[in-house]
Amino acid sequence: MIVAAGGVLAYFFLGVMGIVTGRGRLGGALAILAGVVSLGLWAPGFPEGLLGDPPWGIPLVGDTLALAFWSFIPLVHAAVWWSERRRPSAFHGLVTLLVGTCMATVLSRDLFNMYVAMELGSLLSFLLIGYDARARAVWASLQYLILATVGMILYLFGVGLLYGTLGTLSLSRIADLSPDFSQPTLAVGIGLLVAGTAVKAGVFLVGLWLPAAYGEAPAGVATLLAGLVGKMGIVVLARLSEALPVGMVVAALGVFTALGGLLYAIWERDLKMFLAYQVVAHIGYMLIAFGLGGPAFLGGILYVVAHCLFKGLLFQSAGQAVEAVGERDIGALAGKLPRPAAWGLAFGTGAIVGLPPLAGFVGKEYIGAFIPPPFSWLTVVFAVGVAAAFVKLVPLFRATSSEGDWGSMGLLAAGVMGLSAWGMASVPHVWTMDAVAKALGAVVAGCGLHFLLRRTSPRLPTVTMDRISVAIVIGAAVIPLALLLRG
Amino acid sequence: MEGLTAALMAIALAGLGLWTLIRRRNAIWKLLGLNVASGGSILFLVGVAHRPEARPPILGMGPGPAADPLPQALVLTAIVIHFATLALSLVYVIFLTERRHTQDVPRLERPRRRK
């Protein structure tokens, strides 16, 4: 535990030193090294330990979820480091700090510590999204910070109610007390915790700050957000559903998010916004897995890691393409892409629609096996919907110029391939003819659906800040009420 | 009783702040609403720490029961975070005012024109 905490502290120290001394790039490289060494030392995991003295120490646990995150964090950081290597020192210092915050979040089991980590993550990503000082990116990041802060205010109310009733902030001690919803303060408090975290996690309607923020961020920052930082809210929701009986609420939010995200993704024509709506849809799928718990939880972890790697790859490619061509519309980009971006998009698309040997397939099948029968239609709808949405990227796969940057693309693609190989070796039972046929069938059905829907363009309600804020207030009323009624 | 009063006032403050955040179109008003709401959350945590007949949780303040020190420690952290949030958002609002010449949120989020 000391080693893991030391790794996080090394990250923070190197990040701050990078900003102060003007050697951010060196600091970032050293931090990646420190992260790898620290992981190597605590590798199989560690039981819960307290950082500080008994009654008020911060509980840290190195469980499978933490281990899974730590094992690919250095890779994503290295990819971002390489793709943004020409940036000034302060940028790299901020990236290092942000990655360190994520490493701390996945270890923590303390409600307030997670709050601090999430807020720090919001503030740092806020600075990075608007780093290029383009007015649209600055607005997107301001909207993100305001809405995330509203979510965190709800979370603080939840922390207060929980602490007032149970007298502890440690999630494992709360789990030992096995709270139920018969006490109204507890039901409302837990509901507010879930509602507040849902805003930060990017749940449909309350978290729709996400597409604008991801879509407007510079290439490397979008890679970092999609490949790591955006998953922090999900980690916290997973932790909450481990310790508290809110699994079904989280899973229901997941279903809603998966379908809503797909609905917006299918007709979106802006490349980066399209990928961002796909992030929303996949967040829903992960929440289903984490909410169901038990064996599906492990599938959720596998899917989060796979999604981080291939969505990072997709955002990196899309960012390079948009910056090289100067267009954002998928139709306008077709046939103008540099080769690394086109190949990265092609490979990432193959992985995300779940073509059999690649990582998306293993993750989807693994979760799908544990979804209870009345909802198994969801996996089919989801797979077909994702394929239908991604078919429109096919015209982008033909490259025209060969210049471009292979470095970060190669790193992330190697990550996807490594995970696929690992999945093939260690989860052999998903490799049935049935599953492979189903995955290929979903892709073919998706192509068909794409051609059916190609000519339609329904007017979906536009996403505005006021509408999201109203949705947050409604969510903060509905979720606690639902828990109250169950108690 | 004081604890309950503080909690009710905290909820009222948060509601007032969120109302301002939703109803006002101006970005600075929205930030002010956000700050009032975060003040509500801080007051709520202080209310949670309340115990009847308690003195402030400071060493050497005399005998008798003390208020719960943990929520007060949390509040210090939360205040710092809210301060940082407000300061950084105001910097971005100033930037947007200079660049787009408006603080009107519906105008700031108008979608880009298709080419």
pLDDT in tens, A337-352: 888 889 999 999 988 8
Which residue type does A433 have? M
Mean pLDDT (chain A, rounded): 89
- Per-residue confidence (pLDDT) for residue A198, from 0 to 100: 94
Split at pLDDT 50, 70, 90, the class of A74 is very high
Quote ipTM for the complex. 0.94
- Per-residue confidence (pLDDT) for residue B112, from 0 to 100: 67
- Per-residue confidence (pLDDT) for residue A43, from 0 to 100: 81
pLDDT higher than threshold 90 for residue A199 = yes
Interchain contact, A466 vs B105, CB within 8 Å: yes
Closest in B38, B84, B109 to A465, CB measured: B109
- Per-residue confidence (pLDDT) for residue B1, from 0 to 100: 66
For chain A, give the percent of residues with pLDDT over 90.
45
Provide mean pLDDT across the span A439-460: 87
Interchain contact, A150 vs B18, CB within 8 Å: yes
Best A153, A200, A465 member to test B by mutation, with max B CBs in 10 Å, is A153
- Per-residue confidence (pLDDT) for residue A24, from 0 to 100: 86
Provide mean pLDDT across the span A28-42: 91
What are B41-76's pLDDT values in tens digits? 999 998 888 887 777 777 777 777 778 888 888 999
- Per-residue confidence (pLDDT) for residue B66, from 0 to 100: 79
User: Does B6 lie at the interface with A, CB-CB under 8 angstroms?
Assistant: no
DSSP conformational letter for B55: B
CA distance A448 to A52: 58
Best B34, B43, B94 member to test A by mutation, with max A CBs in 10 Å, is B34
Interchain contact, A156 vs B78, CB within 8 Å: yes
Closest in B42, B71, B81 to A119, CB measured: B81
- Per-residue confidence (pLDDT) for residue A456, from 0 to 100: 82
Q: Are A300 and A238 in contact (CB under 8 A)?
A: yes
pLDDT higher than threshold 70 for residue A382 = yes
Closest in B34, B48, B96 to A135, CB measured: B96
- Per-residue confidence (pLDDT) for residue A428, from 0 to 100: 72
pTM: 0.93
Split at pLDDT 50, 70, 90, the class of A334 is confident
- Per-residue confidence (pLDDT) for residue B114, from 0 to 100: 54
Distance from CA of A299 to the nearest CA of B (A): 35
Instruction: Please give the domain boundaries of chain B with CATH numbers for all domains.
Output: 2-109 (1.10.287.3510)
Split at pLDDT 50, 70, 90, the class of A146 is very high
- Per-residue confidence (pLDDT) for residue A336, from 0 to 100: 84
What are A271-298's pLDDT values in tens digits? 999 999 999 999 998 999 899 888 888 8
Distance from CA of A126 to the nearest CA of B (A): 9
Interchain contact, B74 vs A462, CB within 8 Å: no
